[in-house]
């Protein structure tokens, strides 16, 4: 498609209306299936525009901000999240009303229903509301929400004593339905710049509750430029010491708009401009150690034009604005192994363009780009969709699923029938709501709630950090550690390794493994526990349908087993107290019922292949009487 006008005449001084490339003024709402753009207009207004197809855009809700924004788009950062089926916005507004470096950082949350944004109250981020640092009039901050619902703000002007990279984490997590606003009184200073102010900061959530933060260091260059990037990593409990991202500082300073960072699968990519036609790439998987990646092919680019990044979880697309007369918008693709041989033109009409941005995820085989474009004495915002084909990593609502030979990185909500199939890996960073399951030949990492019918299938491992609600279970050829809140499902957990459930397991279909299952608390199930090895049940095994089946042995449940379907094992069954069952107790080895002094009620038949050390030894065909295939050490022996 050709470029379209998203918002026109947004301000005569709004020369960077689309902000930094990572500030996500443009975003995709996966809950309501709409593209959105947020932009400063007038003197204190935050305006919103939406489109279902990226072609026709309509002005929507406006919000009157507490402070004047001076039309500086680089002071507006947006984070969109789909949390528990709710479309949530977190907006960081670093107002500089006088344009002299007097900052007033505020934060506001909104929810989207259809084409309406409902805004909450705008509030200060720290107790140090007014920052009189006196630096540049743009902060270049970012805001993000991690897998636990914690809001992270990376901003150099959160406190008056510093213009270095700072970050602050919300006091409360966002559940989707509610968020109690609040941040600590003071931010954490993550790095100290050598000279001048930091003017670009990115927070990249990854894994379970982790965040990689990176910001520019002027290194002696003027404000708004950089020669080095400094980083810190939140590993779950604290920020790490500052580290240089680049192996060596750049010889020529670059504009702070000309770098960006993105999570691709499990690897964070930092892509940056190094010269008029050259680029660099650094990567990290743990937020603390870095490697040099293959650089994109040479291509002239506009200084300060921005670097837009987008991914489908396996490949990476990079967009730039050319420094040619037309200010051509171009892109190039990294397929995980190599770059395209050359850059491809996306928009070739002649216009004065700058501040390129993009939504970082592929949506329905397309990438959304937007930029600021001069319109006489005013400024417009234009955008264009790039069709890339292949998989999708966002807003999957379908029947039949997504198939890829690489990996599937789902960063928001999956709602589907048929599931996601990947030959690589499938990291899910937010809610997974599916029917048919998620299948992967590699690994599946679920960092938030999974609500599914059909389950999760992986040839590797499945790590579930929070609640798992499903019908069909979790299937993996490796291991399935479930370390947090309850596991509630129909169909159970199946693994070729081990299943460790540390809290309540409520299910229909049971737990199946060829290894072992350790259940440390109450098991309420319909379908039972199926094991090729052993089953250690430490507490109560309440009523169930389907029983306990194992090819090995069943260590003693320490309280009553009441079930329909019985207890079946290829080894031995030792029951300490009482068994009340409909369907009988079947053992190909021996059945020792030490709890006969209590209650042993069998509505059906009791069969033991060799002999029984109890009161009865009977065969499997009982109709009124009892049949014994061998002999019994009891009062009744009935031959076939």
Task: List helix spans (H) across 155-291.
Answer: none
pLDDT value at residue 612: 36
Whole-angstrom distance, CA of residue 187 vs CA of residue 157: 10
Per-residue model confidence (pLDDT) at position 228:
94
Determine the Cα–Cα distance for residues 566 and 549; give it in Å rounded to an integer.
Answer: 9
Instruction: Give me the pLDDT at residue 266, please.
Output: 97
Long-range contacts of range 426-433, CB-CB < 8 Å, 24 or more positions apart?
426/313, 426/458, 427/265, 427/266, 427/313, 429/147, 429/205, 430/81, 430/82, 430/83, 430/147, 431/82, 431/83, 431/84, 431/85, 432/456, 433/85
Q: Give 565's Cβ-side CA count (13 Å radius).
A: 17
58, β-bridge pairs = 50
Taking a C-beta distance cutoff of 8 angstroms, is the pair 589, 574 a contact? no
Give the angle subtended at the CA of 408 by the CAs of 358 and 439, to the nearest 5°: 160
Query: What are the angstrom distances between the C-alpha of 24 and each of 42, 359, 399, 468, 544?
Result: 20, 6, 29, 30, 50
- Tell me the pTM: 0.64
End-to-end C-alpha distance for the chain, whole angstroms = 81
8 Å CB contact between 436 and 455: no
Contact 143, 196 (CB under 8 A): no
Specify the CATH architecture of the domain 17-370+380-387: 7 Propeller (2.130)
Give which of 591, 582, 599, 594 is closest to 618, Cα–Cα.
Answer: 591
CB 506 within 8 A of CB 493: no
What's the rounded Cα separation, in Å, for the pair 401 and 137?
47
CATH 2.130.10.10, the chain: domain bounds = 17-370+380-387
- Displacement of CA 624 from its chain's centroid (Å): 59
pLDDT at 127: 54
Compute the distance between CA of residue 195 and CA of residue 381 in angstroms, rounded to an integer. 34
Q: Provide the token pair at 141.
A: 């901050």
What would the two tokens of residue 505 be?
Answer: 């397991």
- Rounded to an integer, what distance in angstroms lies between the CA atom of residue 609 and that of residue 133? 85
Calculated CA dihedral for residues 270, 234, 205, 281, nearest 10 degrees: 10
Q: Which of 67, 30, 29, 66 is nearest to 48 (CA)?
A: 29
Residue with tokens 């700072």: 166
pLDDT along the chain (640 residues), means of 10: 94 96 98 98 96 98 92 96 97 74 83 98 72 67 97 84 82 95 88 75 97 91 90 96 96 96 98 98 97 98 98 98 98 98 98 98 97 97 90 40 39 41 39 42 40 46 43 47 46 51 51 49 49 45 50 45 51 44 45 37 40 36 34 35
């Amino acid at each position: 498609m050709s470029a379209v006008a998203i918002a026109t005449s947004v301000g005569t001084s709004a020369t960077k209306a689309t902000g930094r490339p990572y500030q996500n003024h443009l975003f995709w709402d996966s809950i309501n299936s709409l593209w959105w753009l947020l932009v400063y207009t007038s003197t204190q207004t935050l305006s919103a525009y939406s489109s279902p197809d990226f072609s026709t855009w309509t002005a929507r809700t406006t919000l009157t901000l507490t402070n004047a924004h001076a039309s500086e788009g680089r002071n507006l950062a947006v984070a969109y999240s789909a949390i528990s089926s709710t479309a949530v916005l977190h907006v960081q507004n670093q107002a500089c009303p006088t344009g002299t470096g007097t900052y007033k950082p505020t934060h506001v949350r909104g929810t989207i229903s259809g084409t309406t944004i409902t805004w909450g109250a705008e509030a200060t981020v720290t107790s140090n509301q007014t920052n009189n640092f006196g630096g540049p009039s743009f902060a270049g901050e970012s805001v993000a929400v991690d897998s636990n619902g914690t809001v992270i703000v990376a901003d150099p002007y959160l406190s008056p004593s510093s213009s270095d990279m700072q970050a602050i984490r919300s006091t409360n997590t966002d559940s989707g339905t509610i968020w109690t606003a609040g941040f600590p009184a003071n931010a954490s200073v993550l790095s100290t710049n050598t000279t001048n102010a930091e003017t670009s900061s990115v927070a990249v959530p990854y894994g379970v509750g982790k965040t990689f933060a990176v910001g520019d260091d002027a290194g002696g260059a003027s404000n708004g430029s950089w020669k080095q990037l400094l980083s810190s990593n939140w590993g779950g409990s604290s920020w790490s010491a500052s580290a240089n991202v680049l192996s060596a500082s750049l010889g020529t300073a670059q504009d702070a708009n000309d770098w960006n960072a993105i999570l691709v699968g499990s690897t964070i990519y930092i892509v940056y401009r190094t010269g008029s036609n050259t680029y660099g790439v650094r990567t990290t998987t743990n937020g603390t150690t870095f490697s040099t990646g293959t650089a994109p092919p040479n291509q002239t680019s506009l200084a300060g034009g921005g670097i837009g990044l987008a991914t489908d979880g396996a490949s990476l697309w990079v967009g730039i604005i050319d420094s040619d007369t037309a200010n051509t918008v171009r892109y190039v693709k990294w397929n995980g192994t190599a770059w395209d041989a050359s850059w491809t033109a996306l928009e070739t009409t002649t216009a004065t363009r700058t501040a390129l941005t993009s939504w970082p995820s592929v949506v329905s085989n397309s990438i959304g780009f937007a930029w600021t474009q001069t319109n006489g004495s005013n400024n417009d915002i234009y955008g264009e969709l790039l069709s890339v084909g292949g998989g999708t990593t966002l807003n999957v609502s379908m029947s039949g699923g997504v198939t890829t030979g690489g990996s599937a990185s789902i960063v928001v909500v999956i709602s589907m029938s048929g599931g996601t199939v990947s030959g690589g890996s499938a990291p899910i960073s937010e809610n997974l709501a599916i029917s048919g399951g998620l299948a992967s030949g590699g690994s599946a990492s679920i960092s938030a709630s999974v609500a599914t019918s059909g389950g999760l299938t992986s040839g590797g491992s499945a790590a579930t950090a929070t609640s798992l609600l499903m019908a069909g279970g979790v299937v993996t050829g490796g291991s399935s550690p479930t370390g947090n809140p309850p596991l509630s499902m129909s169909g159970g957990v199946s693994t070729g390794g081990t299943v460790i459930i540390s809290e309540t397991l409520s299910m229909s279909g049971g737990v199946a493994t060829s290894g072992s299952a350790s259940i440390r608390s109450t098991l309420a199930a319909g379908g039972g526990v199926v094991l090729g090895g052993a089953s250690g049940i430490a507490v109560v095994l309440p009523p169930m349908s389907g029983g306990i089946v194992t090819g090995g042995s069943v260590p003693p449940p320490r309280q009553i087993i009441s079930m329909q379907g019985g207890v079946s094992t290829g080894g031995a069954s030792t029951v300490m107290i009482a068994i009340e069952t409909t369907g009988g107790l079947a053992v190909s080895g021996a059945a020792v019922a030490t709890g006969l002094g209590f209650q042993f009620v069998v509505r059906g038949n009791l069969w033991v292949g060799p002999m029984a050390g109890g009161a009865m030894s009977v065969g499997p065909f009982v109709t009124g009487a009892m049949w014994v295939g061998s002999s019994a050490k009891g009062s009744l022996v009935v031959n076939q």
